[in-house]
Chain A
Amino acid sequence: LAKTTQPISMDSYEGQEVNITCSHNNIATNDYITWYQQFPSQGPRFIIQGYKTKVTNEVASLFIPADRKSSTLSLPRVSLSDTAVYYCLVAPAKYSGAGSYQLTFGKGTKLSVIP
């Protein structure tokens, strides 16, 4: 199982770019990297997913170096509403359809956006 390590917490001012890095040293060849956002008492919400290099969507960018042992979620110009816990999940690309999917969430990063 690919274990992940993230900073426990981060603070940022409104309007700044925030980069959250996740370490996953034992990532497997068929593992993808997915980032989720979770607000208190809500289910996680998908932010972005990637395998290598850079992925960008309307809310974030994901940078993955060539060795794939880490990844960085970049949130441009954060606002107060981005205050949440962010989880990095490393898991196989496709569930085999049998047994456990081996999904292990790390401890997450609590991002606090300051006015």
Chain B
Amino acid sequence: GAVVSQHPSWVICKSGTSVKIECRSLDFQATTMFWYRQFPKQSLMLMATSNEGSKATYEQGVEKDKFLINHASLTLSTLTVTSAHPEDSSFYICSANSPTEGQVTEQYFGPGTRLTVT
């Protein structure tokens, strides 16, 4: 099956610094990747939809200047949390689409990145 990786798996940073999280599709090309945030004991919340070579589409309430998304290639999307604050501490998960012509799109999820801002 299709594999999606994330790096790092966990990161601790100081308040005010920026953190970059990478999402890679290892064995397929992903024209679209999605970024989610999940707080403890809560469901996944879609933050943005990222298309290769174009600007990301952010969900309502997500600050695009704070959560910078770059999808520069068909196998890599990055999420940069700028000027991180403790309230940004969360579990960030990416997923990638591997659409096949005429078939239903299926999402493949990465293992997630635990961000802790001190």
Cβ-based interface call for A45 (8 A): yes
Q: 12 additional contacts, CB 8 Å, given A100-B57, A105-B46?
A: A43-B109, A43-B111, A46-B106, A46-B107, A46-B109, A94-B105, A97-B31, A99-B49, A99-B57, A107-B42, A107-B43, A108-B43
For this complex, 7 residue pairs linking A to B, each with C-beta atoms less than 8 Å apart, are A36-B109, A41-B114, A44-B109, A87-B44, A95-B32, A101-B46, A103-B46
Q: Which residues of chain B from 40 to 68 have a CB within 8 Å of any chain A CB?
A: 42-46, 49, 51, 57, 59
A23 CA / B45 CA spacing, docked (Å): 19
Asked if A42 and B32 sit within 8 Å, CB to CB, the answer is no
Asked if B99 and A41 make an inter-chain contact with CB atoms under 8 angstroms apart, the answer reads no
Interface of A is mostly: loop
In the assembled complex, which residues on chain A have CB atoms less than 8 Å from the CB atom of B105?
93-95
Check B112–A42 contact: CB distance below 8 A. yes
A45 pairs with B109, CB closer than 8 A: yes
Q: Which A residues are closer than 8 A to B by beta carbons? A: 32, 34, 36, 41-46, 49, 51, 87, 93-95, 97-101, 103-108
Q: Which residues of A contact B59 (CB under 8 A)?
A: 100
Once A43-B111, A98-B51, A103-B46 are accepted as A-B contacts, the answer to whether A32 and B104 lie under 8 Å apart by CB is: yes
Contact call A43/B95, Cβ cutoff below 8 A: yes
A68 to B34, CA, bound (A): 26
A36 to B59, CA, bound (A): 22
- Interface of chain B residues 85 through 113 with chain A (CB within 8 A): 91, 93, 95, 97, 99, 104-112
Question: Is the CB–CB distance between B109 and A94 below 8 Å?
Answer: no
Question: Does B44 lie within 8 Å of A105, measured CB to CB?
Answer: yes
Q: Is the CB of B99 within 8 A of A94?
A: yes
CB-based contact A41/B43 at 8 Å: no
Residue of B nearest to A92 (CB): B105
Q: Is the CB of A95 within 8 A of B57?
A: no
Pick from A32, A101, A105, A107: contact of B32, CB under 8 Å: A101
- Contacts of A98 on B, CB cut-off 8 Å? 51, 57
In the bound complex, CA of A87 to CA of B99 (Å): 21
Whether B46 pairs with A104 at a CB distance below 8 angstroms is yes
